[in-house]
Structure 1
Amino acid sequence: MNTVGIVLIVLLVLVVIVLLWGVATYNAFVRLRNLVQEAWRQIDVELHRRHDLIPNLVEAVKGYAAHERGVFDEVTQARAAASGAGVGPAAQAEQENVLSAALGRLFAVAENYPVLRASENFQQLQTELSTTEDRIAAGRRFYNANVRSLNTKVESFPANVIANMFGFVRAEYFEVNDPEVRAAPQVRF
């Protein structure tokens, strides 16, 4: 075999290796993108569950605190805005923060009514909402971990070459911006 033949074989092997790497990298991007989308769908399911619980909670409190109309309207409007479709994670997080604040005010109203707090229906709704909040937090962690993996791959060389060629872009994180969540707890003795 002459030198030209050896060079052609080496070049052919290099081309095959580069093509295999490109296909593997492309498939890894598809897998990561699908993981991010799946994780977002799981958060969306929990958010819908949360949104479905809120009218029942408002009705339970209304029966005891009918004069707190402004709080009920605020919760209803925040729920309507948060349950709207077609927003990205950042916009959804902002709407959920507004809803969380409104729910906090609703629970503050409920604190003024011991009979309401003792109601089995109210306690069950409060427990379900708390469980749903925990599920949303777990889903947010899973989603953000997948977003981090995708974003790292999109930005890393040489995988970013494939990302740019095929339009893979960074995903948005789903972050909490509620100052109460970010504040350090105060302990008093």
Structure 2
Amino acid sequence: MDILPLGVWLDLLGTYVFGISGALLAVRRGLDIFGIAVLSVAAGLAGGMIRDMLLGATPPTALAEPRYLLTALAAAGTAFFGHRLVERLSKPVMMLDALGLGFFAVSGCRKALALELDPLPAILLGVLTAVGGGAVRDLLVAEPPRVLREEIYALAAMIGAAIVVVGAQAGLSDSAVAGTAVAAVFAIRVISVRFGWRAPRARGT
């Protein structure tokens, strides 16, 4: 039996990997240790806080439970001391961002379903949870948020959240559904970047 519920693990993992993505971006921009910590906390916690506020869960879990802030700060420390090692990966910020996107899409949708929201609002909450932290991170360094760029981003989170809804309605194992959804979001995001896939546009644009 897990020491912590699956939803908490998903939130903590999402906080950590999104936190590292934010901290790495801060390192690339030459920010000091305070700036690195700020971007890590913003990227790791903003999505979950937006979700909780929309669900009326106040104070947000990220503020009520210290382990979330500590996890984001641990991510900042990882990037501060180990950024050279992490940067050896191919497109580390994008890869970590894709992984965090999957974790938060699943956790956001699961929490909405647990509060008995209908499937479509639950999927929407999953997407908002997934893209919120990355959007705040990008805005803090004056970059257009990834969710507004050409690459498939929110669509990947939407597919992951939809997998959670289908799995819940089919009565499948929570852990199996969560793992499948995270893997799907990660794969769609990475493949879309690799091959330059874009969401459909209106004709003539």
TM-score of the superposition, structure 1-length normalised?
0.34
- Mark the structure with the bigger radius of gyration: 1
Query: Does 1 or 2 have the higher relative contact order (CA < 8 Å, sep 6+)?
Result: 1
TM-score of the superposition, structure 2-length normalised?
0.32
